[in-house]
Amino acid sequence: MKYSHSKIEKKWQKIWARHNFRIWHASDNPTKKHIYILDMFPYPSGEGLHVGHVEGYTASDILSRFYRMQGYDVLHPMGWDAFGLPAENYALKTKKPPQDIVPKNIKRFKEQLRALGFSYDWSREINTTDPNYYKWTQWIFLQLFKKGLAYEEEAYVNWCPNCKTVLADEEVEEGKCDRCGTEVERKKLKQWVLKITAYADRLLKDLDLLAWPERVKTMQRNWIGRSEGVEITFKIADSDRYLKVFTTRPDTLFGATYLVLAPEHPLINDITSSTYQNEVRRYIEESLKKSDFERQTNIKEKTGVFTGTYAINPANKERIPIWISDYVLMNYGTGAIMAVPAHDERDFSFAQEFHLMIKEVISPDGKEHLSLDKPYTGEGILVNSGPFDGIHSTIAREKITFYVNGQKVINYKLRDWIFSRQRYWGEPIPIIKCPRCGNVAVPEKDLPLKLPMIKKYEPTGEKESPLADISSWVKVKCPQCGGEALRETNTMPQWAGSSWYYLRYLDPKNKKFLVDPKKEKTWLPVNIYIGGVEHAVLHLLYARFWHKFLYDIGVVSTLEPFHKLINQGIILGEDGEKMSKSRGNVINPDSIIKQYGADSLRMYEMFLGPLAFSKPWSSQGIIGIYRYLNRVWDLIVNSKNFDVIPAKAGIRDSHLHGNDKLRRKDEFIMTPEAKKQLNHNLEALERIRHRTIQKVTEDIKNCHFNTAISSLMEYTNKLTEIPTSYINKKYFDTLVILLSPFAPHLSEELWHSYLKHRRLVAQEPWPTFSKKYLEDKNITIVIQVNGRIRGTVEVAKDSSQEKVQKEAKSIIKKYLTGQNIRKVIFVPNKLINFVIKS
RNA sequence: GCCGAUGUGGUGAAAUUGGUAAACACGCGAGGUUUAGGACCUCGUGCCGCAAGGCUUGAAGGUUCGAGUCCUUCCAUCGGCACCA
């Protein structure tokens, strides 16, 4: 019998699919040990599943199957993140509504996931575009609105002229739209904004609670960008106005030789002296035209303009000029800085450009230097700082802050989350704009506020979404005063639905509430969350924000949603480059499944290397796994290996051919050496079985799937060395059970049809190992002289030093003759090291 | 520039607390089987050397009886952030 992967896989997929895959359903039984293993749900694009999805989903499937066999109640759900631009853009291109396209894509994805044998609990399937789902997305928005955490604000925002919508800061990469690559523009627009900054501190601090990869935590820390500093007030000279600046280095205050305002700073009009007004106006116009990105690209060349006005440095009462420059950003700190060119690179280059005074106040060696050719940004001793001379900068920070009555403040780089999109395919924002009452929440009983079908969903390119055209939908009575009002026509961003989906899996059909508190307590937090690193500052930050908000209003009981996060690495093309259509190096999972089967694909991706590494695909490599599965099949089904030992032992079997060999397996006459070898192998086999169970168990727990597979191969190789007829069936049972999370179809087939078990292998308890079998009776001890290996000796386990030393000495006699042994280091069951004088 | 991760054969990679570096595979070489190719099976395969032996985990130091593993400095690759005062 040949291993026919496609037949076997179809057969078992059909069996698993009975009763909507009931065998994979989580039971919600509160008395059982439970574990929540979650995948980042896919965006069902028209492209279908790629090999990167397969990697993460296989890892989580192995874990799920493993924990089920270990007796856990496992929650392993799947769903669809289907709102957002890709579906809508595809709809525009094909002139079909997204409502038609999305279900088709979902169907394709679901078939592909099924063809890979993933053990999802499909009874909990969710879809972010389903009104029964987004009802609760809207509900969460309303709670944010009621707490004042969702509000409208007129601000400069990122506008993508191609996607014709605003974007969140997180969606802009190097000044470009992360979706289409178009350079974003700066537009002043009134937008819905979520106050994520109110949670900045908690989002930062609680990272310490999480078992996440360090780089993801670092990315979030950098993104939140907390910095402690001081606000210092400067008096404007010849005026009774004041100006606040933010600095993290108040110790350098005596070196502040000018101030700089952002071009958007509200005080500019009031303080600019009449002679400089034209110049200032021109400069501001120029810089407001630039996008944030343009302002940030030319880092070296500084531009700016003098206001003609001076301020008083509160430390030394010196008059210092006030300048305007676009290297100062309005939306960080106070939009104004004190410039200390001697100790800051940006201020230094600005001062050089405009010939402003550079005054040294921090010196690494405590001496004054006549001139600086570059700024010194480190700590040191204060000079030129009046009463503070000679004090170390770290101490002077406090003292000078107190001296000038500075206010300690904490600033964050994190900005509030711009939450409206001028596009059709998203959750409608449940707000009614009433000319009398202002923004009014849609009553909760009217949720979901359904997204209406529409003829033209092209983006308007204006601040309204295409929904604005449907007057029957837009015109509405104000729920508060009953007067004529209009609906908000903007929709939510793609990230809304994915910010809480892990909660809905717990209770997907609950009509009364987002999630039953009892179920929430049973399952949260998610124990293991697997997905790509590309969501580090988008989805993962947004979801943590919403979760913390839901915690505050009592919907969830844990501080954090995802306890352990695992990022799978990227699978590169065979050329070592990122897979892409234009490079032509894309590997299609469907064709791999067709050629080698889902089991081979799953197992190959796991064998490739550590889960978190980026690894290139190798079409030779998958053949290696395919061969291995064939060997397992042959071992159990065809028992091809039976003649190995006799052949080695010198029995001539050349007159036997093909199937004759199989039939004649019991007729071998063994030579004494062959018998001895066989007995030795059989004795070793039980220890190897236990060790393999231990290794595979621990490796799966640690997600070391590549080494788990290695030890399965070693175990299989050992079994192949012994004639099948001598092997107790339990050795094959163990192999198939251990293999089943990796290659479930093949395993079920062998388990059922050849090892003749009645239950599914997936429902078999995971095997256990016992300590007493883990170690050999005899142990090889390494013999070293001065730490260099000179030989080995086999002794009984736990032999005394005396005994080992005696034997070892005789083995490496030639290295010791005439030498003075100074010291002997003995590590029981490991090594013995003779230290001799040289 | 700052932050994070990673550097081991021809390739993907293994290696409890520091204790036989290169497990498991791919590739390659030789042989077997096969009408042939493919598939399969057996043996070999870090480097130098005929051998004895010596060398080897990005580089250089250090700690130790002993370092891929610990410490210091440096280099390279990948990823993230980047005028955030």
Nearest Cα to Cα of residue A418 among A471, A351, A492: A492
Q: Which residue has the higher pLDDT, A581 or A25?
A: A25
Range of weakest confidence among A310-314, A454-458, A712-716: A454-458
Query: pLDDT tier at A724 (50, 70, 90 boundaries)?
Result: confident
For nucleotide B2, the protein residue with its alpha carbon nearest to C1' is A222
- Residue A643 CA, chain-centre distance (Å), reads 50
pLDDT at A62 over 90: yes
Nearest nt (C1') from A329 Cα:
B84
Can you tell me which residue has its alpha carbon closest to the C1' of nucleotide B4?
A215
Q: Are A381 and A193 in contact (CB under 8 A)?
A: no
Torsion A356-A359-A362-A367 (CA) sign: positive
DSSP class of residue A722 equals: S
pTM: 0.91
Side-chain-side CA neighbours of A670 within 13 Å: the count stands at 17
Distance in angstroms: CA A55, C1' B11: 21
Average pLDDT score over chain A: 88
For residues A731 and A615, what is the distance between their CA atoms, to the nearest angstrom?
33
Between the CA of A186 and the C1' of B80, what is the distance in angstroms?
24
**Residue with smallest Cα–C1' gap to B3:** A218
Complete edge-to-edge strand list for the sheet that includes strand A73-75: A73-75, A34-39, A526-531, A562-567
**Could you report the per-residue pLDDT of A523-553, keeping only the tens digit for each?**
999 999 999 888 888 899 999 999 999 999 9
The predicted structure's pLDDT at residue A731: 92
A176 pLDDT higher than 50: yes
Instruction: Measure, in angstroms, how far nucleotide B38 C1' is from residue A832 CA.
Output: 52
Mean pLDDT value of segment A150-160: 87
- pLDDT tens readout for residues A606-653: 999 999 988 889 888 899 999 999 999 988 887 654 443 333 333 333
A782: nearest nucleotide, CA–C1' criterion: B20
Whole-number percent of chain A with pLDDT over 70: 94
Better-predicted residue by pLDDT, A819 or A279: A279
Q: A137 CA, B11 C1': separation in Å?
A: 49
Instruction: Using alpha carbons, select from A80, A69, A71, A66 the residue that is nearest to residue A37.
Output: A66
Pairwise CA distance, residues A21 & A23, whole Å? 6
- Strand B nucleotides below 7 A of a protein CB? 3-5, 11-15, 17, 19-21, 23-27, 39-42, 54, 65-67, 78-85
pLDDT band at A93 (very low <50, low <70, confident <90, very high): confident
Of A497-511, A531-545, A720-734, highest mean pLDDT: A497-511
* Nearest nucleotide relative to A292: CA against C1': B83
Question: What pLDDT is stored for residue A648 in this prediction?
Answer: 34
Separation in Å: B60 C1' and A377 CA: 30
Hey, what are A458's tokens?
């092209």
- Max Cα-Cα span within chain A: 114
Q: What is the mean pLDDT of residues A745-750?
A: 95
- Of A290, A292, A270, A291, the C-alpha closest to A280 is A270
CA dist A137 and A143 (Å) reads: 10
3-state helix, strand, coil in chain A (%, to 5): 45, 20, 40
Per DSSP, what are the bridge partners of residue A418? A193
